[in-house]
Structure 1
């Protein structure tokens, strides 16, 4: 955290990838928090039991789009949005670099900033463990959200998908480095250890005690399950697998096929698409594959 002095004391600022939040004023339980979002960054409001605050945002610059049942609503500079209290999930996405003020009638910043710090620490722990994973997670998140939106997922599912897709490899922080970065084929014993990373990911997210991360942990645990029931860790099949996990499975495979790794050179986009199509209905949910392939021009 970085403290920036102003006339009234200090503005508290917390940064996460793509997002900077600053508490600029507070009093009588009301807080005004400045947000700066980089392009294609998502920000959400979600209901919480016992939370009765008025929550209001005012766009200063840039543009936000909000997922609705009928598509998207765009908020430009000068537009505002409020709910009292929030009873649904709302997922906003910055179309370009965007700044907005968020006002809450109940104190939220210190809890909010702690959540941000927790997320930042999780991101750092992934990147320190495996340099490949940092960019990989960002790509998986971007492509997963494209597929989720094309499928018409609701705001609550999109929020869970956004979190789970970014943190899907989090459990690798518990995998020994010599296994994680081994250039050759893993032994059977090493492979069994590697397969535990999806379970570890759920456990780490559950330890945060944050409801939206705990929910994402269920998806993280399932992202290596297969449509035909031959995946891991539990051999789930078809509709037993959360749709968000099925999306990540396809996107994760595509990225793995097209990315250079110590043990193989990445293939072309066209070769990856052929491989994804070949596994339609076995490894991957056919509907997810069809939706993914319909977006090939945006991949």
Structure 2
């Protein structure tokens, strides 16, 4: 493990799976320390008018670029000037690296991270079931998205939206959210607003990538046959990222103990998803999800 003197950190922000710390800055250049937990995604992307050198130096662990088939271990470096495409890295084991940029980004970067952290903490405080659930949805959704070969920009939206897909529940009254029995028709109408509330919450933060994720969050309860909510979208009018979350969310709901039902056996859940292929769920997503069954069960 590389030795980093924490007293040199100017500012530090923590989020699930990620720690970022501003180590040094001057003349517009910033050096930002990163520590990623195992299997954490991290990325950089092009931005109009941004002409910065982007440099990564691996201190410990390993970062991979799965879609480029590249891997970077302790002592390796990666750099681009300027960034012209999306790069999504994945940590193999706990990984530390220094990120050096010739234009200041930490204030914007830490704001985005803090906003996401605050949302995840707020969900946990509102409904303890939700955070573990969201972590599972994130992991399974990314497995499916990667297997389907989604482009990197869409994978980034999927990564955020799958974790925050239930963020709109922050605006649902607790007596409805945690009701042990069946919801009344009026209560159900209120509950169904959570996907729209989720988009609004993410849009209101004002960060472009959260706005994109918000579109996915809003659609994750749409159905392939057009009988979902909030808009009754159908078929390919539903974002693929949302269709992925829909399948994964249903599987996790069926196989988890909840206030109003006991967990079903995993094989029962797989069969139910297969039964609803082409009605509730996008057929292509179902096929990929079921093809990953052995990995999902582990």
The alpha carbon displacement at 1:269 in A equals: 0.9
The match for 1:142 is 139
Check conservation: 1:67, 1:90, Cα contact below 8 A.
Answer: no
Partners of 1:211 and 1:83 in 2: how far apart?
22
The alpha carbon displacement at 1:28 in A equals: 1.3
The match for 1:52 is 51
Structure 2 matches for 1:238-249, cutoff 5 A? 238-249=235-246
Partners of 1:287 and 1:82 in 2: how far apart?
36
The match for 2:7 is 5
The alpha carbon displacement at 1:113 in A equals: 1.0
Aligned to 2:212, what secondary structure does the other structure show? helix
The match for 2:62 is 63
Does the alignment pair 1:183 with 2:180?
Answer: yes
Which digits, 9 at most, give the CA deviation of each residue in 1:97-149, with x for residues without a partner?
00011000011112211111111111111111110110011100000000000
Partners of 2:214 and 2:69 in 1: how far apart?
27
Does the alignment pair 1:96 with 2:93?
Answer: yes
Partners of 1:189 and 1:53 in 2: how far apart?
53
Partners of 2:266 and 2:197 in 1: how far apart?
31
Does the alignment pair 1:210 with 2:202?
Answer: no
Which digits, 9 at most, give the CA deviation of each residue in 1:229-252, with x for residues without a partner?
000000000000000000000000
Query: Structure 1: 5+ residue runs without aligned partners?
Result: none
Structure 2 matches for 1:88-237, cutoff 5 A? 88-237=85-234
Does the alignment pair 1:23 with 2:22?
Answer: yes
Check conservation: 1:67, 1:155, Cα contact below 8 A.
Answer: no
Q: Which residue of 237, 251, 261 corresponds with 1:264?
A: 261
Show structure 1 runs of 4+ deviating over 4 A: none
Check conservation: 1:226, 1:232, Cα contact below 8 A.
Answer: yes
Does the alignment pair 1:275 with 2:275?
Answer: no
Greater alpha carbon shift after TM alignment, 110-119 vs 167-176: 110-119
The alpha carbon displacement at 1:11 in A equals: 2.7
The match for 1:76 is 73
Aligned to 1:97, what secondary structure does the other structure show? strand
Aligned length: 292
Greater alpha carbon shift after TM alignment, 249-258 vs 40-49: 40-49
The match for 1:295 is 292
Aligned to 1:250, what secondary structure does the other structure show? helix
Query: Structure 2: 5+ residue runs without aligned partners?
Result: 1-5
The alpha carbon displacement at 1:72 in A equals: 2.9
Greater alpha carbon shift after TM alignment, 15-24 vs 196-205: 15-24
Q: Which residue of 84, 87, 90 corresponds with 1:87?
A: 84
Aligned to 1:87, what secondary structure does the other structure show? coil
Aligned to 2:13, what secondary structure does the other structure show? strand
Aligned to 1:33, what secondary structure does the other structure show? strand
When the two chains are superposed, the root-mean-square deviation of aligned CA atoms in Å is 1.2
Partners of 2:56 and 2:281 in 1: how far apart?
40
Greater alpha carbon shift after TM alignment, 84-93 vs 282-291: 84-93
The alpha carbon displacement at 1:5 in A equals: 3.1
Check conservation: 1:227, 1:285, Cα contact below 8 A.
Answer: yes
Q: TM-score, normalised by structure 2?
A: 0.96
The match for 1:35 is 34
Check conservation: 1:126, 1:170, Cα contact below 8 A.
Answer: yes
